[in-house]
Amino acid sequence: MSTIHTQMKGNVLVIKVQGAFNLRAKNMIESRLRPETNTLRIDLKESRFIDSEGVIFLHRWQTAGNKLQLLHPPDLFVEILEILELDDRWDLDEIIIKLI
């Protein structure tokens, strides 16, 4: 089962996904968006799976001109981007936040 925890910090919606990042998680995130939200910072440390619904949501978020930051994305994430032929459209060095 997917659950999320969110917190607004200015225009940034900080999200922690527990479980799969799937349609249910996407719908929960969308329900917490505010008009002023322009950045999603998503911690996927406790998420071992992201499906195409999650990737498509993130892609649409970016193509709408919004900023995306991912922490601890599962290995499957990059593979899905390759399968959907989106890997060349994402600047993973900018999107994936590496914590020291």
For the full predicted model, state whether its pTM sits above 0.85.
yes
pLDDT, tens digit (0-9, with 9 covering 90-100), for 15-47 = 999 999 999 999 999 999 999 999 999 999 999
Interior angle at CA 53, CA 48 and CA 57, nearest 5: 105
Q: What is the rounded average pLDDT of the residues 2-19?
A: 96
Could you give the CA distance from residue 12 to residue 86 in angstroms, rounded to a whole number?
A: 24
Contact 95, 70 (CB under 8 A): yes
Fold of 3-97: Transcription Regulator spoIIAA (3.30.750)
Q: Sketch the domain layout of the chain as residue ranges.
A: 3-97
What pLDDT, on the 0 to 100 scale, is given for residue 84? Answer: 81
pLDDT band at 100 (very low <50, low <70, confident <90, very high): low
pLDDT band at 69 (very low <50, low <70, confident <90, very high): very high
